[in-house]
Amino acid sequence: GAVVSQHPSRVICKSGTSVKIECRSLDFQATTMFWYRQFPKQSLMLMATSNEGSKATYEQGVEKDKFLINHASLTLSTLTVTSAHPEDSSFYICSARARGGGGSYNEQFFGPGTRLTVL
């Protein structure tokens, strides 16, 4: 089956530093990748949608200058949390949609998530 990896799985950083999270589709090409944020005991909130080779589309209320997304290839997207603060502490999850995966449904494959803790 389709596998999506994320790295790192956990990261702890000091306030003011930047953190990069990688999302990779291991055995398929992903034309579209999505970044979600999940607060404890809550649902996933879509942050942005990125298509390979173009700028990401951010959801309302998400600061694009703070959450930099790059989708440089069909197998890699990165999320950089710039100048992180404690309120950015969360569980970040990416998902990928396979290239040519149209048809009657639109399945996405999720990474295992990255736990970010900002001190």
Partner 1 sequence: GDSVTQMEGPVTLSEEAFLTINCTYTATGYPSLFWYVQYPGEGLQLLLKATKADDKGSNKGFEATYRKETTSFHLEKGSVQVSDSAVYFCALTEANQAGTALIFGKGTTLSVSS
Burial degree of 95 (CB within 10 A; 0-12, 13-18, 19+): buried
- Show contacts with partner 1 in window 36-95 (CB under 8 A): 41-44, 46, 49, 51, 93, 95
**From CA 4, how far away is CA 67, in angstroms rounded?**
20
Written as one string, the DSSP assignment of 11-68 is EEE-TT--EEEEEEESSS-EEEEEEEEE-TTS-EEEEEEEETTS--EEPTT--TTTEE
Q: Does 30 bind partner 1 (CB under 8 A)?
A: no
Establish if 34 lies at the interface with partner 1 (CB under 8 A).
Answer: yes
Is residue 110 a contact point for partner 1 (CB under 8 A)?
yes
| Residue 40 or 85 having the CB closest to partner 1 | 40
Please pick, from the candidates 67, 81, 97, 116, the single residue that binds partner 1 as defined by CB under 8 A: 97
- Using the rule CB under 8 A, give the single segment among 12-20, 28-36, 61-69, 70-78 that binds partner 1: 28-36
Residues of the chain by 3-state class (helix, strand, coil), percent to 5: 5, 55, 45
Beta carbon of residue 34, minimum distance to partner 1 (angstroms, whole number): 5
The residue ranges that bind partner 1 (CB under 8 A) are 6, 31-32, 34, 41-44, 46, 49, 51, 93, 95, 97, 102-113
